[in-house]
Structure 1
Amino acid sequence: MKKYLLGIDNGGSMTKCAVFDLKGNEIAVASVRIPLIEPQAGWTERDLNEVWEGNAKVISEAVKKAGVSPDEIIGIGLTGYGNGICFVDKEGNPVYNGVVSSDNRGADLCTRLADEGVQDAIYHLTYQEFWPAQTAIMMVWFKENMPEVLEKTTYVLSIKDFIRMKLTGNPCYEVTETTCNGLMNIHTQEYDPDIFKALGLSEYMDRMPKYAGVTEVSGRVTEEAAKKTGLTAGIPVAGSCYDVNTGALASGILDDDTLCMIAGTWSINEHLTKELIDGANSIARSYHPDYYILEESSPTSASNFEWFVESFLEPDRPGVSKGTLYDECNRLVDSIPPEDSDVIFIPYLFASATHPDAKGAFFNLTSYNNRGHVIRSIYEGIVFSSKVHVKRLMEGGKTFKSAKLSGGITKSEVWSQMVCDIFQMPLEVSAASEPGALGAAMCAAIAGGAYKNYDEAVKEMVHMKKTYYPNKEKAEIYNKKFAAYEKALAALDFFYTEE
């Protein structure tokens, strides 16, 4: 009997389920866009009952599309956006909408708690700076604004762990997410009373469930979930990890010499590290037992380009496929040398990577500029935002021999080469169309006994489709453009700072 794996990815934009064989080949994928609920400006939520229905739908569709028997599936891996928050009762039913990681309602709270010294007081326990949709911040926000939600809550979960509970009946976190949600002591890997006390959350510490290891079996598909999804009851579900980790694992990163970049809804920039580095924005346990993962990220990536396509290209081209529009964009960008356009785009349509209040902007637009100049500036701005994050990762003198890139940008050779030229290092591009799902499936492969460890799983399941090499002649051109981009960021700091 052949053996297959499922990887389920609840991302900020789409929910996906992919079927893989043990060689990492994607057999089939199904996806669904679950509508966002935006009750107020800056709030992003989803109906968790709809989220579960959507997951059940894509699981069933992916398995049918793959033409495999549910009995041939030996393991399931789960991933999704990190943090946000899901409030559920003891039966696993939601007591409030799921808050998505792009939610910004906690921005003022982050500033207040930092000013009050709370962040500094617990930083060396968590190695996490506050950010608006962080689970810790969300719990404080709900305590102060909607305490009735917390009172009704038995378990606080992340989005992937909500799906775990629906699949297995087991309320369970996993170790990578618990160490990035701002509530766990990264040294002891335990929820720490001192952290909860500093945040004013002591009475809610019992809402946090136990956690599993990344490659441990965290539960098995229940009879009820089997009926809902078409799966076979008893399939093991791995602890897995959130998308920052699964993306790196799917790129085959097992050392600290390689920069990992993931360009999807979020710009995720990261590397493995054996050290806890003071001043880092976010350090958590990684999938690899010997390493932490150091992350710099913000929602400043390809979703900004999608906004342009959906707002300005699609309405004028009814019936034209997105693939055709993407091809046109690539041709336009490729037709304009980087030195021939000084338009700067700041990809802050959804949130900022620098000043907390900054919004998206174009600089240097003139009547001379056409659609190609604008699109090129969007491509460049998204990569420059990634470079801002990578500069922070390298502040302590860290260097990288090479980089690996996954996500939507990799479908464009023009954009991938631009990344390579801006960073001026060899760039390997993942062959995986769904790297998050693949990384989750790799966790399931180890949990299910198909492979003994990460080395074996990476050797068999990770495939890169192309290596790009930097054009040295473009290094100075892009350095000057990046310097102009940083000046634009400084202008936004001035514009959005109150006197």
Structure 2
Amino acid sequence: MKYVIGIDLGTSAVKVLLVDQEGEIRYEVSKSYPLIQEQQGYSEQDPNVWVRETLDGLAELIQARPCSPEQIEGISFSGQMHGLVLVDEQGQPLRNAILWNDTRTTSQCQEIYQTIGEERLLDITKNPALEGFTLPKMLWVKQHEPDIYERASTFLLPKDYLRYKLTGQLAMDYSDAAGTLLLDIEENTWSEEICQALEINITICPPLVASYEQTGTLLPQVADVTGLSTSTKVFAGGADNACGAIGSGILEEGKTLCSIGTSGVILSYETSNHKDFGGKVHYFNHGAPGAYYTMGVTLAAGYSLSWFKEVFGEDEEFDDFVHDVETVPPGSNGLLFTPYVAGERTPHADAMIRGSFIGMDSSHRRKDFVNAVMEGITFSLNESLEIFRNSGKKVDTIVSTGGGAKNHHWLQMQANIFNATIIKLSSAQGPGMGAAMLSAYGCGWFDSMEDCAEEFLKVEQTFTPQKDQVHEYEELFKIYQDVYVQTKGLNERLASYRS
């Protein structure tokens, strides 16, 4: 039997999956690490911690002896998007990585618009200038830490830095590069126009490769530390959402993904890079050959629920915390939640907005609040789905992954709010499985990614819309959409009181 490894470098942990030729996960390791949040809006991590925890995870896998090191043919990666890692000529990080959920760069986004122009930026990158993207972070360092910026030889995204430390080769795949605001999506090249306009030396941009391309083999010192073989092939990998799409079988027109992790994503497959959504949703390169995807993002999806649990059920297991939500009717007995606890991205690119509970009274119990949080997250994702449908896309089947796929009540809620059949796969490791599939395809196990998906991915359960609840949620969704408009001004006035 042959094996591949998928490494998913997430925001809170790195997950290492050992997958066999039939798509079965034979061993799994997770290593967590903290966020560094020195002040409001800042979110950073030490890149060397990613490397250390990944090496520890790989070593643990080999020590468990699920197979011999020589049976592991390839390794590939999925990684958190947008994070900025600046390295010097020796490949050492010059500062902590600035992560995707860091919101310090509002003025840099304005600078990009003023210099490039909003329409021209959309023409080139297909995406608006948002605080989470990489380019604003680079401009922030250039302005506030000029000494560090001047010493930077190359910028990388998180999983690309990790892969560099494992192979010694610098590269970035197209799916991650598309989230930097520096890639010309139609030409699939770094944009000289943007770099010149913002006085960025284009040589700081790393070589571009496809997600399934081989980018070296393991360094001898990495093999020594982990027990892996130096002959193990290493493939570029992709952005977490691109890999999540692959690991969920979103590999043809009409397929849609709902992924609820720290952030939440509604993602739909596209065969063309010429569509125009006017910046309302993101438009990125897929990890599959010649493909793209449109994507709407809820900035604090699963994070909203984990925040609420941390405050009101810190010592409880998740299943205990949510065990009685199925008794709560649609609308949570008149309680509505907006998941803007860290700002919002789609359809409101607003770093200042904050969450709300609307309609509280003394009859409400904790289960009503938990259910309202689940509904609010799903309503936010439905706003992205509505944009897709209004553009003419047919969406009747959605693969649901992440934390939102762990609770049957929440899966049925998604079916009712989205008015679509929800599919739960037997494997919930979307991005990690997607990374493993890229490796399997790169190793030549399959003629296409579709063939790989047919072998690796299996449906566990489906949830169909309940007509009476679909109607109730359609009316509740209209109320939900009013909350942003009604609270935007209030949140701007409250901003100065935030610590």
Structure-1-length-normalised TM-score: 0.94
Structure 2 equivalent of residue 310 of structure 1: 310
Within a 5 Å distance, the mapping from 1:5-154 to structure 2 comes to 5-65=4-64, 67-114=66-113, 118-154=117-153
In 2, Cα distance between equivalents of 1:118 and 1:387: 30
Residues 117 and 493 (structure 1), Cα distance of their counterparts in 2 relative to 1, 3 Å cut: farther
| Among 235, 247, 250, the residue aligned to 2:232 | 235
- CA shift, 1:198, in A, is 2.6
Of 256, 271, 289, the residue aligned with 1:259 is: 256
Aligned pairs for 1:96-495 within 5 A: 96-114=95-113, 118-201=117-200, 204-275=201-272, 276-278=274-276, 279-280=278-279, 281-314=281-314, 317=315, 320=316, 322=317, 326-339=318-331, 341-353=333-345, 354=348, 355-495=350-490
Distance 2:435 2:99 in 1: 20
Of the structure 1 ranges 286-295 and 262-271, higher mean CA displacement relative to structure 2 is found in 286-295
Change (3 A) 1:492 1:65: farther
- Letter paired with 1:261: C
Counterpart Cα distance in 1 of 2:412 and 2:230 = 46
How far, CA to CA, are the matches of 2:84 and 2:437 in structure 1?
25
Report the residue type matching 1:372 in the other structure: K
Question: Aligned to 2:324, what secondary structure does the other structure show?
Answer: helix
Q: Indicate conservation of the 8 Å contact 1:174/1:214, yes or no.
A: yes
Please list every run of 5 or more consecutive structure 1 residues that lacks an aligned counterpart in the other structure. none
Q: What is the total number of aligned residue pairs between the two structures?
A: 488
Q: CA deviation at 1:234?
A: 2.4
Cα distance change on mapping 1:117 and 1:194 into 2, 3 Å: closer
CA distance in 2, matches of 1:210, 1:71: 29
- Whether the 8 Å contact between 2:2 and 2:73 is mirrored in structure 1 is yes
CA contact (8 A) 2:304 2:341 kept: yes
Q: Distance in 2 between matches of 1:39 and 1:372?
A: 33
Q: Is the 8 A contact 2:309 2:321 kept in 1?
A: no
2 CA distance for matches of 1:152 and 1:463? 48
1:243/1:385 Cα in 2 relative to 1: closer, same or farther (>3 Å)?
Answer: same
Whole-angstrom distance in 1 between the partners of 2:131 and 2:400: 26
The alpha-carbon deviation at position 112 of structure 1 amounts to 4.4
**Percentage identity across aligned positions?**
25
Does 1:4 pair with 2:9?
Answer: no
**RMSD over aligned Cα atoms:** 1.8
Change (3 A) 1:441 1:208: same
Q: Partners of 1:464 and 1:92 in 2: how far apart? A: 43
Aligned partner letter, 1:254: L
1:140, 1:200 within 8 Å by CA — same for their partners in 2? no
Q: Secondary structure at 1:7's aligned position in 2?
A: strand
Provide the rounded CA distance (Å) in 1 between the counterparts of 2:118 and 2:343: 21
Does the CA-based 8 Å contact 1:300-1:385 persist in structure 2? no
Tell me how far apart the structure 2 counterparts of residues 344 and 372 of structure 1 sit (CA, whole Å): 13
How big is the shift at 1:475? Answer: 1.0
Q: Greater shift after overlay, 166-175 or 55-64?
A: 55-64
- Aligned-residue offset at 1:498: 6.3
Indicate conservation of the 8 Å contact 1:5/1:441, yes or no.
yes
Amino acid at match of 1:417: Q
Q: Which amino acid is the alignment partner of residue 184 of structure 1?
A: L
Separation of aligned partners in 1, 2:196 and 2:304 = 38
Distance 1:100 1:363 in 2: 31
**Structure 1 138/364 Cα, relative in aligned 2: closer, same or farther at 3 Å?**
same
The TM-score with structure 2 as length reference comes to 0.94
Bigger shift: residues 393-402 or 181-190:
393-402
Distance 1:66 1:270 in 2: 37
Post-superposition CA distance 1:295-320 (Å, at most 9, x none): 11132211211111122112xx4xx5
CA contact (8 A) 2:396 2:419 kept: no
Deviations 1:43-81 (A, max 9, x none): 111111212111111122233346222111111010111
Q: Which moved more, 1:298-307 or 1:409-418?
A: 298-307
In structure 2, relative to structure 1, the CA distance for the partners of 1:119 and 1:66 (3 Å cut) is farther
Per-residue deviation at 1:115?
5.2
> What CA deviation, in whole Å up to 9, does each residue of 1:263-306 have, x standing for no partner?
10111111112332221332122123342111111322112111
Could you give the per-residue CA deviations for residues 158-201 of structure 1, whole angstroms, max 9, x where no partner exists? 00100110110001101211223111111221112111123332
Deviations along 1:8-44, one digit per CA (max 9) or x if unpaired, are: 1111222111111111111121112211111221111
In 1, Cα distance between equivalents of 2:214 and 2:3: 16
C-alpha displacement of 1:496: 3.2
SS at match of 1:296: strand
- Separation of aligned partners in 1, 2:98 and 2:31: 18
